[in-house]
Structure 1
Amino acid sequence: MEFSPLPVSTFVGAFLLAFPALFSIVNPVGAALIFHQMLADHPAETRKRLAPTIALYAFFILLGSLLLGGYVLNFFGVSLGALRVAGGLVVAIRAWALLMAPEEHEERKADQASSPAKARAEDMAFFPLTMPFTTGPGAISVAIALSSQRPVEGHSVIPFFMGASLAVAVIALMVWVFYRASDRVLSLLGVNGARVMSRLMAFLLMCIGVQIVASGVEALVTQFLATR
């Protein structure tokens, strides 16, 4: 039995596109440091108990945005090309903010997570530790922008979403691992090390955003020329 190389290529390409983009915006390494700080008054067992719950919530939020976000916008008449341009601009703008001032991004996430400081740790698992701290509007918009990169051909759509969904699963797994071991991350990497990594990943995220914009512009130009 022979298999077409296209689905495999689409699967791998989708994973390689989605993983660095989602890793850059979620930043499980840097987020683990803030997670540890926000739960510093709780025992280590509490952080370990919350880590899988937050990872599971994050997985479903990102997966839902990835699988349904693009189709919802298309339902409202937004073309695939326009969605790619808008999504790419959102990704690039957020990447620029992360690249220029990662400290402000960290402080904003910490402020969002510390608002219900008096709540029990278990009550904080979804809000604010998952939403908006781990997977906030930025991560959701990136996932929707990634969904706009789905192939037009029907036989390539499923491998694309399988590869992107695998990237979401890996990100959720990393959230689980790094949140669970947040004390070790803090001792090994430190705040400055996390910020250096954030800047490197933010630059990669900006490149991905520009690539999405370019593919959107190409689609719009092709559509315009086809109607002439």
Structure 2
Amino acid sequence: MLIDFYEVLIMCLVMLLPIAHPLTGMALFMGFSERLPLKCRKDVAIKSSIYSFLIMLAVWLSGTFIMENIGVSISGIKIAGGVLLIVAGFGLLFPPSNGRGASYSFQGSNIAFMPIALPGTAGPGVISMIIGFDSFLSEAGYEGGRVKDIAIIASFVTISFLLWLGLSFANRIFPVLGATRIAILSCLIGFVQFCVGAQFVIDGIKQAFF
């Protein structure tokens, strides 16, 4: 039973880590929280990891039901998540001139939920992967059971903990980089996020119409 737990946990992490790794969250965190005080940045780190866990858990518990009964498709999730990433990337590329925040509603501790947790960590790729967990694990020979369920939840906890570690480490980088380097890094991060969001939208449109 313990062996099955670790096997399922490792399998889930192998599927999730390439698309939910903490580097994306760190990049968004560094771009949007540069003007926040240290205490607020620590709060954002904790809240982001909690929100990411809750999003992944909610998707796993209700994702299939929502898709089947409300009519939300994977392509729709990709397009919506892509738009959010485009908005976040645009805000990093062209921050407001008033100097009070990074972008639109992405200000203060609000960035913990959006865009760091959603779609930065638990984005369209993660959501679609979690929804397909049962079929992936069944094909690998792991049928439903309490051990499998606990292992899946443990993978969400692990991803969230790694995100918290990454954001906590990013807090130590701020004093070293300085304002100018962080501003340059924010623009680079914004461009990458903009491109990733555009690609999600393109993939979603292709999947929906072609």
Q: Which has the larger radius of gyration?
A: 1
**1:63 aligned to 2:53?**
yes
1:18 maps to amino acid: A
CA contact (8 A) 1:92 1:205 kept: yes
Residue 140 of structure 1 is matched in structure 2 by: 118
Q: Distance in 2 between matches of 1:214 and 1:7?
A: 33
Q: Distance in 2 between matches of 1:176 and 1:6?
A: 28
Shift of 1:184: 2.6
Shift of 1:64: 0.4
Q: Count residues in correspondence.
A: 188
**1:129 aligned to 2:108?**
yes
Shift of 1:112: 4.6
Same amino acid, percent of matched pairs: 7
Q: Distance in 1 between matches of 2:50 and 2:160?
A: 9
Q: TM-score, normalised by structure 2?
A: 0.63
Q: Cα RMSD over matched residues?
A: 4.2
1:79 to 62, 68, 72: 68
1:15 maps to amino acid: L
Residue 129 of structure 2 is matched in structure 1 by: 149
Shift of 1:13: 2.4
2:174 to 182, 196, 199: 182
Q: TM-score, normalised by structure 1?
A: 0.59
Shift of 1:195: 0.9
Question: 1:158-212: CA deviations, max 9, x gaps?
Answer: 566554543332222222232354333335723123211331244245445656x
Q: Please give the secondary structure, in 2, of the residue aligned with 1:149.
A: helix
CA contact (8 A) 1:34 1:110 kept: no
Shift of 1:15: 0.8
